Amino acid sequence: MMARKWLIGIISVLIVILGGIYLTGYGFKPTHGNPQKGNIVRTLEMADGMAMLLEDPETHSFSVARVNQKLGFLYRFDGGSTNWLKKEEPFQAAGIASGTVKKDRFILGIKIAEDAEIQHIAIGNSELGIPLYEPYSLTWHEVKEHPNQYETQKVVDGYAFFVFDDFTEDKWTIRGFDEQGKLVADKLSGADARYIDWNE
């Protein structure tokens, strides 16, 4: 009888603890409470949590999310952004600026069109002074020569995924290069993504 009372007491305490965890918004899965449904494509660790890149095969959308993490196994959704890649676009981006005053972050996910032939992504250098419809020249080799002006990444499984310390216009200036290092698409800050074809 005593053992049964102890078991009931332990179960009751566990129920209270689990209820308290869920009431605070935490759960045991990284996707807990995340309205951006889908499969996790990639994650990046941050000092105060995790950044996630997700893809939803049902809606053909992709999203980025910020997740707070406690004790290594408790997760809480802390904001996200969803976007869709249109057929005529070379790539599309979803980004979210979030975090506390001391731990600001900008999370950026980029989905690449299958036929865009983009192999490398460069973020940054919005100060080239380029009018929106004026041709300009830039190669992957030139980008790699200026590591202080660009953040770069190789496209993996159709995506590039970044976490930055803050948000600036540079972080929303995106360029895509093919395997030979040729600029094939860009998205200047404040403009839509477009194919670059003036060198054809």
pLDDT of residue 89: 96
pLDDT of residue 23: 37
Average pLDDT in the chain: 80
**Percent of the chain with pLDDT strictly greater than 70:** 70
Residue 112 in contact with residue 160, Cβ under 8 Å? yes
* pLDDT higher at 71 or 149: 149
Residue 54 in contact with residue 38, Cβ under 8 Å? yes
pLDDT of residue 22: 45
pLDDT of residue 21: 41
- Assess whether pLDDT exceeds 60 at residue 169: yes
Q: pLDDT tens-digit profile of 11-29?
A: 544 444 444 444 344 554 5
Query: Domain segments of the chain: what residues?
Result: 2-195
- Assess whether pLDDT exceeds 70 at residue 33: no
Q: Which contacts qualify for 65-74: CB closer than 8 Å, 24 or more apart? A: 65/34, 65/36, 65/96, 65/107, 66/96, 66/98, 66/99, 66/105, 66/107, 67/30, 67/34, 68/26, 70/26, 73/28, 74/21, 74/26, 74/27, 74/28
What is the edge-to-edge ordering of all strands in the sheet holding 74-84? 39-46, 49-56, 61-70, 74-84
